[in-house]
């Protein structure tokens, strides 16, 4: 956790957001990340996502089962989802989402959007071309070269 906090502190010295994350497996750091949203003009470049990307690259695997993440703040909905997709085994965090909201990093609007019916969400969602897209799903389902994840 000390390293995650150190990364978050160091990042603000360069104008970045105050977030850092470290992924550990078998007692070794396999990935680190800090918030690069403004540096990369990438709204997905949160510390946890950056740490996941680096860890997966370093171990040449998209499955981080058995690894743990240490993050300087409770993960936002996007990062929490990425952590689940990466199959991390445990999350350690320092600051809370309430602490983040108090410095104007408020993810609560996303938490309130998720359970709403699609028709009531702030961003309009329109389904189209489902039959064509289902054909691709069917092809994947019977593929003999697919890699399940």
The pLDDT tens digits for 29-77 are 999 999 999 999 999 999 999 999 999 999 999 999 999 999 999 999 9
Residues present in the chain in total: 149
Structure tokens at 80: 């929490």
104 is catalytic: no
Give the separation between CA 138 and CA 146, rounded to whole angstroms. Answer: 12
Find where tokens 């370093």 sit. Answer: 58
The active-site residue, picked from 6, 13, 32, 48, is 48
Q: Is the pLDDT of residue 114 over 90?
A: yes
pLDDT at residue 149 in the model: 86
Give the pLDDT score at 106: 86
Residue 108 pLDDT > 90, yes or no? no
Q: What is the rounded radius of gyration, in angstroms, for the C-alpha atoms of the chain?
A: 18
| Mean pLDDT of the 4-31 span | 96
Mean pLDDT of 82-101: 97
The mean pLDDT value of the chain amounts to: 96
**Which residue, among 46, 48, 40, 47, has the nearest Cα to 64 in the 3D structure?**
48
pLDDT higher than 90, residue 148: no
**Residue 66: exposure state from Cβ atoms within 10 A (0-12, 13-18, ≥19):** exposed
């Amino acid at each position: 956790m000390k390293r995650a906090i150190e990364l978050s502190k160091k990042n603000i010295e360069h104008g970045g957001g105050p977030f850092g994350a470290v992924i550990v497996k078998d007692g070794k750091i396999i990935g680190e990340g800090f918030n690069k949203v403004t540096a990369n003009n990438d709204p997905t470049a949160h510390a946890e996502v950056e740490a996941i990307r680096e860890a997966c690259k370093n171990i040449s695997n998209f499955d981080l089962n058995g690894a743990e993440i240490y993050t300087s703040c409770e993960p936002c909905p996007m990062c929490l989802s990425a952590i689940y997709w990466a199959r991390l085994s445990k999350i350690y965090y320092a600051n809370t989402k309430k602490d983040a909201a108090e410095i104007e990093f408020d993810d609560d609007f996303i938490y309130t959007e998720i359970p709403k019916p699609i028709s009531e969400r702030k961003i309009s969602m329109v389904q189209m071309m489902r039959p064509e897209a289902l054909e691709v799903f069917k092809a994947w389902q019977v593929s003999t070269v697919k890699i399940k994840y």
